[in-house]
Amino acid sequence: MKQNLHTARGQATLFMIVGLLIVFLIGLYFFYDEVEALLIEITLTETEAHEQRERTDTAYECLEYYTEQALELLRKQGGYIELPEKNLHVERHKLAYFPQNRSSKDMEREVARYIEGKLPENCFKREEEYSLSTTGDLEISVELSENEILIIGDWPLYFTKEDTGDLFWLEPIVYSSQSSVKILFETAQELSKEENTIDYTKAYYGLEGMEISIIPFENSSIYTLAQEGEYFIFAVER
């Protein structure tokens, strides 16, 4: 009798151990699935973050390219990207006449319009992996100081992968570059107001080590200002 009782208890213990083992294995199975799903989710998130960084870098490179292009136009056309109707045509180049009813703020606005026109048309035209959508227009703010240009771009551009539904967007992009175009422009304004009937080539060093050269051309004088490797060209009607 006692032997049968011990046998029953042993069997019950064995069944209990087996049951606990089964529960443990089932729990481990679901736990593994949860961990695997989490790892997949994390991997996808890291992939999306990488894709976002790549496209933000692309937008930054575009912003850099068109900012420098805008500065080059300002320097060689007398502070204009889009020249006024009255200008001086020298061979293949055109220069704005000074003095102008224009300020550095006008240049900032023109640079902003130029970049806003270029980036949407050219920056992601070869994008193949994602479809693009936007909730608004690209907004560029420009600030010119004595030795720097600062550009901030807010572009509500979204990238969506149709097969997976992955979605990310561009972060605001900021670009700055050393540029003396503001002080060169303001110096040009002051020089153009001086009464001068120069009819010969003249080169000398002006304010703060700025090199100034003046060349007569027809009924005008062409000024070239240079400072720290940067130049600015404009014309004065005589």
Token reading at 205: 């060093």
Query: Which H, E and C letters describe the chain, residue by residue?
Result: CHHHHHHHHHHHHHHHHHHHHHHHHHHHHHHHHHHHHHHHHHHHHHHHHHHHHHHHHHHHHHHHHHHHHHHHHHHHCCCCCCCCCCEEEECCEEEEEECCCCCHHHHHHHHHHHHHHHHHHHCCCCCCCCEEEECCCCEEEEEECCCEEEEEEECCEEEECCCCCCEEECCCEEEEEECCHHHHHHHHHHHHCCCCCCCCCEEEECHHHCEEEEEEECCEEEEEEEECCEEEEEEEEC
Residue 1 lies in a domain: no
Mean pLDDT, residues 86-114 taken together: 90
Of 88-92, 101-105, 174-178, 181-185, the poorest mean pLDDT is in 88-92
Residue 19 lies in a domain: no
Domain count, the chain: 1
Mean pLDDT, residues 5-14 taken together: 54
Residues paired with 110 in a beta bridge: none
Which among 76, 111, 77, 115 has a CA at the least distance from the CA of 96?
Answer: 77
**Tens digit of pLDDT for each residue in 36-84?**
444 444 444 676 778 788 888 999 999 999 999 999 999 999 999 999 8
pLDDT over 80 at 207, yes or no: no
Q: Which residue has the higher pLDDT, 45 or 178?
A: 178
Mean pLDDT (the chain, rounded) = 80
Residue 6 lies in a domain: no
**Tens digit of pLDDT for each residue in 106-164?**
999 999 999 999 999 999 888 888 888 888 899 999 999 989 999 999 999 988 887 77
Residue 74 lies in a domain: yes
Residue 35 lies in a domain: no
Report whether 152 contacts 174 (CB < 8 A): yes
**Rounded distance between C-alpha atoms, residue 236 and residue 193, angstroms:** 9
Q: Which residue has the higher pLDDT, 98 or 99?
A: 98
Q: Which residue has the higher pLDDT, 37 or 94?
A: 94
Domain holding 202, by residue range, is 41-237
Residue 20 lies in a domain: no
Residue 46 lies in a domain: yes
Residue 5 lies in a domain: no
